[in-house]
Chain A
Amino acid sequence: MKPAIEIRNLGKEYTLKSGQSYVALRDVITNSFRNIFTGSKSDQKFFALKDINLDVMPGERIGIVGHNGAGKSTLLKIISRITPPTTGEAIIRGRVGSLLEVGTGFHPELTGRENIYLNGSILGLKKTEINKQLEAIIDFSGVEKFIDTPLKHYSSGMQLRIAFSVAAHLEPEILLIDEVLAVGDMEFQKKCLGKMEEVSKSHGRTILFVSHNLAAVKQLCTKGFLLENGENKLYSDINSVLQTYSSSYLQKVNRTAIGSYDLGQHPNKIKLGSGLLSAKMYINNILSEEFIPGNDFKITAGYYLAAPLVDPEVGIVIKDENYNPVIGLNNKHLGKKLQLKVNEPGEVTILIPAFNIYMPGKYFVDLYLGDQVHYFECLYDAFTFTVLPHDVFNSGEELRPEWNKIFISNMDIS
């Protein structure tokens, strides 16, 4: 049998545009004039993907894992033909359905039913196929009552349910999924994952799955494809790929001592030598990585700035081990202006007294610094810590983690 996906020496090169998300004609004109006089400077280029080779047999389910910026999404975009490769080739045998984001093309003025048709046809379903599946899609979504109301009256949760339902009922031979399960409520996510597992197992569907939710990857996929800086590090069974990924993760975070991290070489770094350079985590003012609920949680982030930032923003996002964000906070939420030092090392302190995070397990913390306009650096998974199970109320009984992500320290029931 021929492979469903055959990728040979695939590469994708991007041109790095400094500080701008799009080109303005006026800049092109002024720059070309400037270049005549000062000698042209070429834009920086980098390979988002290098020399990728991959064979996927029909019915295999591949989890693509790697750090942020490793090229996972770029690979799916090339296979789904959204963007062309720079080198190499890929042969795809079978109809491809790509789910790079749920709810693409939804229009708030149209009803739920009309949006199912629109979204379905954008995702490549024929009208007759949608007609056939319509009842099943509406049933699955659980919003039958509102199906003929314009989408603008839906809650965001209901919109997602419709979107997921359409997605879960796609029937191509090859399904590409990128981070779609990162949103939506847990129960419905599980339902979708179950549905995809069911159809892929019973219909022998080929799946490429990109997600930070490693638990979901493990559940759905048979094999793993580990990407690092645009190159393939490992293509093997899912368990060994996930193990390699976790251990490479610990090397990457560059821990210098317990609770101390050197961020100078972090993969998401915009500019070496400036921005966020180090992080320390204190629990009750002691460097530590093991957290007992209810204690003081403090982060100090070392930085260096060569130019001042207008209205700087510093913040963290704490995510659980399935990479679901739990808490995000920054100085703007507090309405607080920060004075950051320029041309000398400085330090920002984030303090959460009596932090009531309860759910035991491993947590990852993203750290960011910038003013959104001139400079913005977000270091994903800058460091990790573990929340230990603990009897916070001294009742002789630990709280059940499925009901207690946080706990409430002063409450009364009478």
Chain B
Amino acid sequence: MEKFITHIQPPNRFSLGLKELWQYRELFYFFTWRDIKVKYKQTYLGILWALLQPLGMMVLFTLLFSKTWKIDTGTIAYPIFVLSGLILWNLFSSSVSHAGESMIQHANIIKKIYFPRLIVPGSAILVALFDFMMGLIIFFVFCFIYKQPMHWYSVFYFAAGILIILLAGFGAGTFLAALNVKYRDFRYTIPFLLQVLFFSSQVIYPLYSVQQTWLKYLLAINPVNAAIELFRATLSNQAIDTTTISIGLTSTVIIFAVGLYYFRKTEAYFADLA
């Protein structure tokens, strides 16, 4: 019994609370399980829905930018090029928007029960990751169809790209989640922010085709660019732009740290505000 001593005090110093998160790992699992289960129970097409969305976009962009306005993507076929960008972008955008909305959606639970609040945006991101895995399968199917050459070490580049997206998505998502609790009108800016980020990401065009160097490195602040750069690195003979990746990595670390810090700092008062 002596193991469970809780000391309740006014919040003062900052901590990550990793130990507590570990104690609550089952709740993490249950929230994620619930969202995935409900999501695929509610939609008629089930899992198919997660696949149709990136596929539809891929067909549209391929028709527009590989047939009508030709975008040069080097040795990599345009459908593969755009699909790789789309699935990564979808992971980022659903991480940010779902994590950003998550605290408000769970306001009822937050006001009634204590648990480490990070679980809520965290599980929103795991749900997005689940959808991404479906998209990734489709991506490999198309790689096979288009006879896309791959190396065994491509796996590490894929993983690095996904990790950047997850870190940046988690940072931005938790930051927005905390802001949303405090300022309820902030959520209206999220779709606009995401749209700006989409067109600044190298989803439908390669970043190296941007002529002005200053613009290219400005766009590189968007972490999605570095993630896509790494993800596509082994798929074509185009050399990796290390500057883009360094800028992207720096901003990823900053976004992650700021988001996590702001969330942890304000989470004690969520129940009073929500």
Q: Show the binding face of A for B, using Cβ within 8 Å.
A: 14, 22-26, 28, 77-87, 89-96, 98, 100-101, 104-105, 107, 109-110, 114, 117-118, 121-124, 126-127, 173
Contacts and interface: CB of A to CB of B under 8 A. Distances in A.
A127 to B, nearest CB: 6
Nearest to B2: A93
B109 interface: yes
Contacts of A107: 34, 38
B37 A96 contact: no
Nearest to B30: A121
Given A82-B112, A101-B112, 9 more contacts: A82-B110, A85-B9, A91-B7, A92-B5, A92-B6, A94-B4, A98-B113, A100-B113, A173-B4
Contacts of A123: 113
Most chain-B CB neighbours within 10 Å: which of A25, A26, A98, A123?
A25
Contacts of B30: 117-118, 121-122
B6 A96 contact: yes
Contact of B1 (A87, A124, A173): A173
Contacts of B9: 84-85, 89
B265 interface: no
13 contacts: A23-B273, A25-B185, A77-B271, A81-B8, A81-B114, A82-B111, A85-B9, A90-B7, A93-B1, A93-B4, A96-B6, A105-B109, A118-B34
Contacts of B271: 77, 82-83
Given A93-B2, A98-B114, A122-B115, A104 B109 contact: yes
Contacts of B268: 83-84
A84 B267 CA distance: 10
B155 to A, nearest CB: 32
Contact of B182 (A23, A87, A101, A124): A23
Interface string B18-30: 0000000011001
Nearest to A117: B30
B130 interface: no
A109 B38 contact: yes
A28 B34 contact: no
B114 A82 contact: yes
B186 interface: yes
B179 to A, nearest CB: 8
Contacts, number: 107
A91 B34 contact: no
B38 A78 contact: no
A163 B109 CA distance: 14
Contacts of B182: 23
B37 A114 contact: yes
A121 B119 CA distance: 13
B70 interface: no
Contact of A94 (B1, B109, B115): B1
Interface in B158-200: 182-186
A381 to B, nearest CB: 25
Contact of A109 (B1, B5, B42, B185): B42
Contacts of A114: 34, 37
B10 to A, nearest CB: 6
Nearest to B35: A107
A127 B4 CA distance: 19
Given A86-B10, A105-B109, A107-B38, A24 B185 contact: yes
Contact of B26 (A84, A110, A121): A121
Q: Identify the 4 closest CB pairs spanning chains A and B, nearest first.
A: A25-B183, A81-B114, A90-B8, A92-B6
B183 A24 contact: yes
Contacts of B113: 80, 82, 98, 100, 104-105, 122-123
A104 B30 CA distance: 14
B41 A109 contact: yes
Contacts of B38: 107, 109-110
A26 B185 contact: yes
A329 B2 CA distance: 52
Given A94-B1, A104-B112, A118-B34, A25 B8 contact: no
Nearest to B12: A84
Contacts of A173: 1, 4
B109 A89 contact: no
B13 to A, nearest CB: 13
Interface in B96-150: 108-115
A91 B6 contact: yes
Contacts of A87: 10
Contacts of B272: 14, 83
B269 interface: yes
Nearest to A98: B113
B35 to A, nearest CB: 9
A86 B112 CA distance: 19
B11 interface: yes
Interface string B41-75: 11000000000000000000000000000000000
Contact of A81 (B1, B6, B26, B34): B6
A85 B9 CA distance: 6
Given A82-B271, A122-B27, A92 B8 contact: yes
A9 to B, nearest CB: 11
Nearest to A125: B26
A76 to B, nearest CB: 10
Contacts of A127: 26
Contacts of B41: 109
A91 B8 CA distance: 6
Contacts of B269: 83-84
Nearest to A178: B112
Nearest to B188: A25
Nearest to A10: B8
A138 to B, nearest CB: 18
Given A89-B7, A93-B2, A118-B30, A22 B112 contact: no
Contacts of B186: 25
Contacts of B114: 80-82, 98
A314 to B, nearest CB: 29
A37 B209 CA distance: 51
A79 B185 CA distance: 31
A105 B109 CA distance: 6
Given A79-B8, A105-B109, A121 B27 contact: yes
Contacts of B111: 82
